[in-house]
Chain A
Amino acid sequence: MKYVDEFRDGDKARAIAGQIRQEADPARTYNLMEFCGGHTHAIFRYGIPGLLPPNVKLIHGPGCPVCVLPIGRLDMAVELARRPDVILCTYGDMLRVPGSGRVSLMKVRAEGTDVRMLYSPADAITIAQQNPDKQVVFFAIGFETTTPPTALVLEQAKKLNLTNFSVFCNHVLTPAAMHAILNTPEADSGALMLDGFIGPAHVSTVIGSAPYEPFPEQYGKPVVIAGFEPLDVLQAILMLIRQLNEGRCEVENEFTRAVTREGNAKAKALVERVFERRESFEWRGLGAIPHSALCIAPAYAAFDAEKRFGLEQLHGRENKACECPSILRGVKNPRDCSLFGDPCTPDNPLGSCMVSSEGACAAYYSYGRFSDSRIAVEEVNV
C-alpha cells in the first residue's frame, strides 16, 4: 500500500536506529513519552524498543480513548443499553471494557439487550432510520481524530429531523491531557521521568501542530509529531535526541506529509459549531481535568443522550489491584501490575489498558512479554 510500505522498510529502520545509537549520549538517559496509543501499538508491533540503546526509554502515554474513559461513564452506557427501547451503538473496543462489577457491554448484550458494533458512526444514522420505534444512541468516544465524524453525524441527524437518534458524547482533548500529565503529584515531586513527547499522528492532522507550542514554552518539554509507521517513530526519536543534545526545545513535525501548523480548518470549524468544552471531565488515572472534554452544543441539544434520558453522572468501582491508572500517568509499567498476564489478558481483560490494541498492557502482552523478560534477566546478570 502506498504511503505505508515505504515507511516500514527494514533496512531503513536499521539505518535510523544506527544513527540513534551514534548520536545518543551514553552519559545520559532519554525518557520519551509517546502520548498516543497508536504509537504504543506500532512501537511494540515493530520491536522498536529492541532497536534502541538502553538509555533511550519509551514511556507509554494515556492516548487511548478506551483506556482513559472512567468506569462511571461506561456504567452510564450500560444503564442506557439496558433500557428496553434503546439500541446502543459504539466502536468495537468499547464492548469489551469491564465496568463496575466486571459488567461490560458485551455481557449486557448477552442479557438480550441490543448493543451494536459500528465501523463508522454514519451506520448509526442508518440504524435509526431502519428502527423508527427504537431510540438509537451512539456511544461516542475518542480524541480529536474521531470527533469531526461525530460532528458530521450530529449535523446530518439535525438535517434529517431524526427524533430517535442521540449521541452519548465522551470526546476528549489531547493537549489538556498533556498538561495534566505534567501537573500530577508525581510530576511535581520529580517521580515522572520525562524529557520530551512523541506527538500524535492523526490527532495532529486535525488540530495541527500549533496547540503543542505551550509545552516547550511552559514546561521545557520538546514535542516531535510523528506518523504511525515504524520509520516515522524512529525518526521522531532521533529528532528528540538531537533537540535534547543541542539544548533546543521546540515543536517539530516529522509527519509533514499529513500535518500542518494549522491542521484541518474545515474540521476544526465544524467541531467548534457542534460541541462545547466541558468545565471538567474525569479521566481514568488522571482524575478530573479542566476543559479536557467536549459536550454537545445547545443548538444540537435535542440529540444529546445525556439530556434526552436525564443521565446522572455515575462514579463506578475500580478493580483495586489494577494498575491502569498509574500506567496511564506514565509512572508504572504493565509489568509492575500483579494482574498482568495472569489473570489479566487480552482474552480476559480486567483493566481497560488490556482491552484495546492501543492499550499499553495489550501491546506489551501481544508483542513484548517474552523479549522484555529476557532483557530484564540480562540486566540482572550484568
Chain B
Amino acid sequence: MCLAIPVRIEALIDDERALADIGGLRKEINTALVENLKVGDYVILHVGYALNKLDPEEAARTLALFEELGQLQAARDAALEEGELSMEGKA
C-alpha cells in the first residue's frame, strides 16, 4: 500500500499539477503536497500524488557510505584469497 516510486518532474502545469517521467512514460501527477517544485526535481510518487522531494545530496552521501563498505569488502576478499593461497603453498 505504501509503495511509491521516485519520478523526475519534466514540466510544471500549475501549482497543483506537473508532468513526470515515470520509467520513460510521461504522466500528469498531482503536486499539491509539495512546495517549491522545479523541473528536474525528483519526487516520491504515491497513488498519483507527489509526497516529498528527494534530496540529491543526501542520496549521494548514502551511496558514498555504501561505496566505503564495498571497499572494505574488497579488502576482506583480497585478504581471504591471500590466506587461501598461502595455505595452498604450505600444503
* Contacting pair A202 B55 (CB below 8 A): no
* Contacting pair B48 A205 (CB below 8 A): no
Q: Does A334 contact B (CB under 8 A)?
A: no
Contact partners of B66 in chain A: CB under 8 A: 9, 12, 15-16, 231, 235
- Asked, given contacts A2-B8, A15-B70, A264-B52, whether A149 binds B2 with beta carbons under 8 Å apart, the answer is no
With contacts defined as CB atoms under 8 Å apart, how many contacts are there between chain A and chain B in the complex? 137
* Contacting pair B6 A1 (CB below 8 A): yes
B48-65 contact mask (Cβ, 8 Å, vs A): 1 or 0: 110110111011011101
Distance between Cα atoms of A93 and B3 in the complex (Å): 12
* Contacting pair A356 B1 (CB below 8 A): yes
Distance between Cα atoms of A103 and B56 in the complex (Å): 47
Contact partner of A18 (CB less than 8 A), chosen from B46, B47, B73, is B73
* Contacting pair B73 A141 (CB below 8 A): no
Contact partners of A258 in chain B: CB under 8 A: 44, 52, 54-55
* Contacting pair B6 A2 (CB below 8 A): yes
Contact partners of B6 in chain A: CB under 8 A: 1-4
Distance between Cα atoms of A14 and B59 in the complex (Å): 20
Q: Does A206 contact B (CB under 8 A)?
A: yes
B18-40 contact mask (Cβ, 8 Å, vs A): 1 or 0: 00000100000010111100000
Stretch of A114-122, A291-299, A363-371 that contacts chain B: A114-122
CB proximity of A2 to chain B, nearest CB, Å = 7
* Contacting pair A202 B73 (CB below 8 A): no
Contact partners of B34 in chain A: CB under 8 A: 264, 266
Distance between Cα atoms of A63 and B76 in the complex (Å): 37
Contact partners of B48 in chain A: CB under 8 A: 119-122, 149
* Contacting pair A149 B49 (CB below 8 A): yes
Q: Does A28 contact B (CB under 8 A)?
A: no
Distance between Cα atoms of A141 and B6 in the complex (Å): 22
- Asked, given contacts A18-B76, A235-B62, A256-B61, whether A37 binds B49 with beta carbons under 8 Å apart, the answer is no
Contact partner of B2 (CB less than 8 A), chosen from A9, A12, A202, A264, is A202
Contact partners of A203 in chain B: CB under 8 A: 2
**Number of residues of chain B lying within 8 A (CB) of chain A:** 38
Q: Does A36 contact B (CB under 8 A)?
A: yes
Contact partners of B46 in chain A: CB under 8 A: 145-146, 149, 202
Distance between Cα atoms of A119 and B4 in the complex (Å): 12
Chain A residue nearest to B63 in the complex (CB): A6
Interface residues of A in 183-232 (CB under 8 A from B): 200-203, 205-206, 228, 231-232
Q: Does A347 contact B (CB under 8 A)?
A: no
Contact partners of B62 in chain A: CB under 8 A: 232, 235, 254, 256-257
Distance between Cα atoms of A231 and B44 in the complex (Å): 18
Contact partners of B73 in chain A: CB under 8 A: 11, 14-15, 18-19
Chain B residue nearest to A148 in the complex (CB): B33
Chain A residue nearest to B76 in the complex (CB): A18
Interface residues of A in 124-155 (CB under 8 A from B): 141-143, 145-146, 148-149, 152
Distance between Cα atoms of A149 and B65 in the complex (Å): 34
Query: Can you give 25 contacting A-B residue pairs, CB < 8 Å?
Result: A4-B6, A11-B70, A11-B73, A12-B69, A15-B74, A18-B73, A64-B1, A118-B47, A120-B47, A146-B1, A146-B46, A148-B33, A149-B48, A149-B49, A152-B49, A202-B4, A235-B65, A256-B58, A256-B62, A264-B34, A266-B34, A266-B35, A267-B51, A358-B1, A358-B2
A residues neighboring B (CB under 8 Å): 1-4, 6-7, 9, 11-12, 14-16, 18-19, 22, 36-38, 63-66, 91, 93, 118-122, 141-143, 145-146, 148-149, 152, 200-203, 205-206, 228, 231-232, 235, 254, 256-258, 264, 266-267, 270, 356, 358
Additional 18 contacts, C-beta under 8 A, given A4-B5, A15-B73? A2-B6, A2-B8, A7-B63, A11-B70, A15-B74, A18-B73, A18-B76, A38-B2, A120-B47, A148-B33, A149-B48, A152-B33, A231-B66, A235-B62, A257-B59, A258-B54, A264-B34, A264-B51
